[in-house]
Amino acid sequence: MSSTRGRASTTTAASIRLFVPVLVALEFFSGLVQGWIVPLLGEIGRVFQVPGGATSWVLAVGLLSSAVSVPLIAMLGDRFGQQRLLVVSVALAAAGSLLVAFAPAFAFVLLGAAVQGPVAAFLPLAMALLKAHRQKSANKDIGLMVGALTFGVAAGSVLGGVAMDVIGSLLWVQLIPALGIALFVPLVRVLVPEGRPDASRMIDWKGAALLGAGLVGVMYGLSEAPQRGWLSEHALIPLVVGILALVLFLRVERRAPSPLVDLPAIRSSHLGNPIFIGFLVAVTMFGNQSPPVLFLSANPAVTGYGAGLSTTGVGIVLAVSAGSLTLGSFSSFLLAKVLGRSRALVLACLLSAAALVCMAFVPSSVLLFTLWLAIGGIGMGVVLGVLPGVVIERAPVAAPASASGVYNTARTIGGSLAGAFVASTTLLVTSAGTSSGNTAPSMQAFQIIWMVFAALNVAGAVCAVFISRPPAAVHAEAEFELVEEAAARR
């Protein structure tokens, strides 16, 4: 019996040493999967003979699936074990990726994107596992994971197109990330230790259904509104249904014995402020994906602004921006350690705001515009690296994944609002027609977008001032984690 106990302790100790590198690598491949398909959308449209606008539904379906599945998966993780649900999520992401690769028709591509949605649950589940096993170093580990995730997205966005040019087969190109993520199913199962599931936690199926219906309605309405009009039935009906479902969801949650979103627990754990900051920053991060592309590719002789860059030139500038985002994420732990998390967040938000103001009014050259993007990316990366640590540190011990899931869902909603705002602004505030007869966004449209985003970052900086020190319960949890690690070594 003693030898069996010794082998179990050795296995636990080995898992604790290895599971952080596994989680960091998993986040890199998570980002790779998410970024890989973006440059392939044109080829997907050509192969399946669908119009260019229809291919955007691949990303929209994936986003909807993530928004709906992440809260439910996080809740199931707190009930049955975060490691177990992480294995399930990785398996679903791999299955969805393989379905996209082998899809015989475009409908199966969309189905694969939906099955792939739980890829967004990797980070909340991983954060909960860090709270269970490495509370003391969780902030540093989360910074590494977020940095690996952003680097993976950037690498996928570049390498997907390169692989397509070199290999020439859409199936084989899409198999590369699919097989990579599939390898992590056994790795996570063997090398990642289980968290602290709460068997007494009930499953809030009614809340999950209402939240899912609400998010689908709101996000679908937001995606349709810019093109079809905010008062069209295609946008207005889903928005109204979605909002009503979310209102009903909040009413149900107040009476649920184990709510999907425990609002009293969020208030008592001081989670509302960091979640709100995450929402504000997500509006900027997701919303500022397309405006730089439109600006840099615009012909200044026609529109009066822009750089007239080719697709390759735009890609190089965006690669610099993505690299700065990754740099900010990787350096977030050090900056927070030197300045304190509150000051680091304030500085990062103000840095991003200043960069956005410069983009709006000082875009005199490609070099300067790239510099503003890089500065803003560093600030954004620091926020993305610091905030998840704050969230998981304050999360209730019985529901760490659920709290992380709420943070992730708030960011998803922020991204959807940002997309609708950017699309509506660029469609409404236009300049004179181009040589092809089409209208283009005016410089005022970009200035409105970037100044609104700058204001949101300033609001985030103000909120970050009130990020208080962690409650005393967190220190007790850290002491428990140290004792647990010492027992594992013995």
Q: What are phi and psi of 252, to 5 degrees?
A: -65, -40
Do 333 and 465 touch, CB atoms closer than 8 A? no
| pLDDT attached to residue 13 | 53
Do 205 and 232 touch, CB atoms closer than 8 A? no
What average pLDDT does range 302-306 have in this prediction? Answer: 82
| pLDDT attached to residue 439 | 66
| pLDDT attached to residue 434 | 45
Give the strand pairing for 430-433 and 439-441.
Answer: antiparallel
Using a pLDDT cut of 70, give the percent of the chain over it. 89
Of 54-58, 174-178, 305-309, 410-414, where does mean pLDDT reach its minimum? 54-58
Do 286 and 153 touch, CB atoms closer than 8 A? no
Question: Does residue 183 register a pLDDT over 90?
Answer: yes
| pLDDT attached to residue 108 | 93
Q: Please give the CATH topology (third level) of the domain spanning 262-490.
A: Growth Hormone; Chain: A; (1.20.1250)
| pLDDT attached to residue 8 | 39
Q: How far apart are CA 191 and CA 87, in angstroms?
A: 11
| pLDDT attached to residue 456 | 96
Domain boundaries 1-201, CATH class:
mainly alpha
- Which residues have a Cβ under 8 Å from the Cβ of 411 and sit 6 or more positions away? 278, 279, 281, 282
264 exposure class (CB count in 10 Å sphere: 0-12, 13-18, 19+): exposed
Tell me the two tokens of residue 281.
């920053």
Number of DSSP helices (H) and strands (E) in the chain, helices first: 21, 2
The per-residue pLDDT of the chain, averaged, comes to 83
Going by pLDDT thresholds of 50, 70 and 90, the confidence category of residue 10 is very low
C-alpha distances in Å from residue 56, one per residue of 38, 42, 61, 218, 414: 9, 10, 9, 18, 19
pTM of the model: 0.78
Question: Does residue 348 register a pLDDT over 70?
Answer: yes
| pLDDT attached to residue 433 | 46
| pLDDT attached to residue 483 | 40
CA angle 200, 261, 33 (to 5 degrees): 100
Do 213 and 245 touch, CB atoms closer than 8 A? yes
What average pLDDT does range 348-364 have in this prediction? Answer: 91
Largest CA distance in the chain: 82
Question: Does residue 182 register a pLDDT over 80?
Answer: yes
Question: Does residue 116 register a pLDDT over 90?
Answer: yes
Of 88-102, 150-164, 237-251, 366-380, where does mean pLDDT reach its minimum? 150-164
| pLDDT attached to residue 14 | 52
Query: pLDDT for 364-413, tens place per residue?
Result: 788 999 999 999 999 999 998 899 888 888 887 777 777 788 888 888 88
Query: pLDDT for 242-293, tens place per residue?
Result: 999 989 988 888 888 877 777 777 777 788 899 999 999 989 988 888 888 8
**CB neighbours of residue 437 within 10 Å:** 6
- Reported as type and span, the H/E element at residue 432 is strand 430-433
Question: Does residue 438 register a pLDDT over 60?
Answer: no
Of 91-105, 258-272, 348-362, where does mean pLDDT reach its minimum? 258-272
Question: Does residue 119 register a pLDDT over 70?
Answer: yes
| pLDDT attached to residue 484 | 45
Question: Does residue 104 register a pLDDT over 90?
Answer: yes
Of 28-32, 153-157, 433-437, where does mean pLDDT reach its minimum? 433-437
| pLDDT attached to residue 487 | 44
Q: What are phi and psi of 177, to 5 degrees?
A: -70, -30
| pLDDT attached to residue 150 | 87
What average pLDDT does range 337-351 have in this prediction? Answer: 93
What average pLDDT does range 4-19 have in this prediction? Answer: 52
**Per-residue burial over 160-197, b = 16 or more CB atoms within 10 Å of its CB, e = otherwise:** bbebbeeeeebeebbbbbbebbbebbebbeebbbbbbb
Q: Which residues pair with 439 in a beta bridge?
A: 433
Do 296 and 314 touch, CB atoms closer than 8 A? yes
Do 391 and 127 touch, CB atoms closer than 8 A? yes
Torsion region of 202: left, alpha or beta (phi above 0 gives left; psi -120 to 50 gives alpha): beta
